[in-house]
Amino acid sequence: MTRSILWLRRDLRLTDHPALLAAIRDANHLLPVYIHAPEEEQPWQPGAASNWWLHNSLIALDRDLRKLGSGLIIAKGSSRLVLRKLAIKHQCQHLFFTCLPEPASIQRDSRVCRELTKAGVSCHQFHSYQLLGGNSIRRIDGGSYRVFTPFWRALQKQGMLQRSTEPAPKALPPLPNEIDSLEIDSLKLLPSNPWYREFHNHWQPGEAGAFKKLHDFMQQTVNDYHTGRDRPDLSDTSRLSAHLHFGEISPVQIANGLSARIGGTPAYTDNEGASQYLRQLAWREFAIDLLANNPDTDRLPFDSRFADYPWRSDKQAKNLLQKWQRGETGIPIVDAGMRELWQTSWMHNRVRMIVASLLTKNMGIHWLEGARWFWDTLVDADLANNSLGWQWSAGCGADAAPYFRIFNPVRQAERFDPNGNYIKHWLPELSTLPTKSLYAPWIVKTSELFKAGVQLGKTYPKPSVDLQSSRREALKRWESVKRRSNTAGSK
């Protein structure tokens, strides 16, 4: 009688699941278990929006498992102890799981395997969280990459489509009798602030929701991705980030889907949309690789010259941070983005870059403050991608934009929201302004504002930072850091 445990974490799906397929190969009984252990994810315990997603994703997975004759066992506590107890109580011989790439997970998994091996359980690990898992992209000298373009070339060279997509099993071995499971509700994942009530209008957590998003993207927008992906006023990106984070779809499924859609290998296709999309997926791989090989970069700057950067933390900075979080900076494209984030728990990539640049450069506030806010409010909050995005925007990351390239939010909005539809949607109080006046209302004539019913400081805030002088200040701070590191280097 073979009994196997399938330890589910961020692989909450049934299709293209190598660990699941291996687990059922010879099993008479399968124990699919999710263990809630947020304290094992120090120092970045899942944020509120992530928890909302997880709650709904577990419900969807349990439903899907039941349809195939199984069900999800819910437990909480130390993963090591829960798994050991489960294995002993139900006389399981095998543990199967999908590796997660974060440094804390890697350490935890080796502790779990040591403990279970001692208890006579054999552990089987699988890599499907990434296109090519397990630190397989290496420079010729064996080191890891710090710059995206050579990483991307190496990834293409290794062949991004190395395996076909595995279908979901048609049936699953049953659970053994006398299984103890908690209710999903008892995990208390739903945030106490009911701000999440509207999220269901935007998201369907779970595998079916991921398939729908992928299908819509492939049918409607992939061909326009290269031209539309930077436009927050269009819906030309896939919005698969949270599904990918929770493993409700694998990157291999997406890459193979692209391949099938265009009838060729996306990396070498003439379909510019498909190849640009694959390149973005490769940024995810790059972020994972960077964090795995530089485990401190969720907290410390990749560029060590920023170790002593004079970030502002005075009372005025705290005030600015609060305005930024609330979408009340008085800079329309930034406020639109921050309100999109608050209302939908997601923000368009271009706008993420704009709001991050304003916070870290014009306001001079530490990138970790922004990273923490995103961590709590994004449904796709992901340690590797969030750390990379924030460090890149702050200028201290691997392959970051040169520091002096400070985004001008007005020019960015004119270029990427040319009809002002994004700003008008998220800031209805400005929607009566003519498009050309939407981007920087503080330079618009009072008579025009009056005609549109806009009163700066009353119906919409005045700008909280002066874009020109704060840019100069940021450059001065950077010059002082450079001088200090040059002096230190020459000593």
Ligand X SMILES: Cc1cc2nc3c(=O)[nH]c(=O)nc-3n(C[C@H](O)[C@H](O)[C@H](O)COP(=O)(O)OP(=O)(O)OC[C@H]3O[C@@H](n4cnc5c(N)ncnc54)[C@H](O)[C@@H]3O)c2cc1C
Interface residues with ligand X (CB under 6 A)? 229, 237-241, 244-245, 280-281, 283-284, 287, 349, 352-353, 356, 374, 378, 380-382, 385-386, 388-390, 393
In this structure, what token pair is assigned to residue 457? 């400081």
Minimum distance from residue 172 beta carbon to ligand X (Å)? 29
Minimum distance from residue 373 beta carbon to ligand X (Å)? 10
In this structure, what token pair is assigned to residue 482? 């450079």
DSSP assignments along 277-302, one per residue: HHHHHHHHHHHHHHHHHSGGGGTS-S
Minimum distance from residue 385 beta carbon to ligand X (Å)? 3
Looking at beta carbons only, is 48 or 378 nearer to ligand X? 378
Minimum distance from residue 419 beta carbon to ligand X (Å)? 21
Minimum distance from residue 220 beta carbon to ligand X (Å)? 13
CB atoms under 10 Å from CB of 263, counted, come to 8
CB 213 within 8 A of CB 238: yes
DSSP state of 395: T
Minimum distance from residue 86 beta carbon to ligand X (Å)? 32
CA distances from 280 to 81, 147, 230, 255 (A): 39, 14, 12, 11
Looking at beta carbons only, is 71 or 389 nearer to ligand X? 389
Looking at beta carbons only, is 47 or 441 nearer to ligand X? 47
Looking at beta carbons only, is 3 or 245 nearer to ligand X? 245
Closest CA to 63 of 246, 166, 206: 206
Closest CA to 189 of 62, 8, 55: 55
Minimum distance from residue 165 beta carbon to ligand X (Å)? 17
Closest CA to 292 of 139, 100, 41: 100
Minimum distance from residue 297 beta carbon to ligand X (Å)? 13
Looking at beta carbons only, is 216 or 429 nearer to ligand X? 216
CB 429 within 8 A of CB 441: no
Looking at beta carbons only, is 173 or 389 nearer to ligand X? 389
Looking at beta carbons only, is 169 or 247 nearer to ligand X? 247
Q: Are strands 29-36 and 122-126 parallel, antiparallel or unpaired?
A: unpaired
In this structure, what token pair is assigned to residue 426? 């998220």
Rounded to whole angstroms, the Cα distance separating 304 from 485 reads: 9
Minimum distance from residue 348 beta carbon to ligand X (Å)? 6
Rounded to whole angstroms, the Cα distance separating 336 from 334 reads: 5
| Total residue length of the chain | 491
The residue at minimum Cβ distance from ligand X is 389
Minimum distance from residue 187 beta carbon to ligand X (Å)? 22
Looking at beta carbons only, is 31 or 378 nearer to ligand X? 378
Closest CA to 100 of 5, 8, 179: 8
Looking at beta carbons only, is 165 or 349 nearer to ligand X? 349
SS3 call for 126: strand
Give strand pairing partners of 4: 30, 94
Rounded to whole angstroms, the Cα distance separating 293 from 295 reads: 6
Look up tokens 């589910």; give the residue.
8
Looking at beta carbons only, is 237 or 250 nearer to ligand X? 237
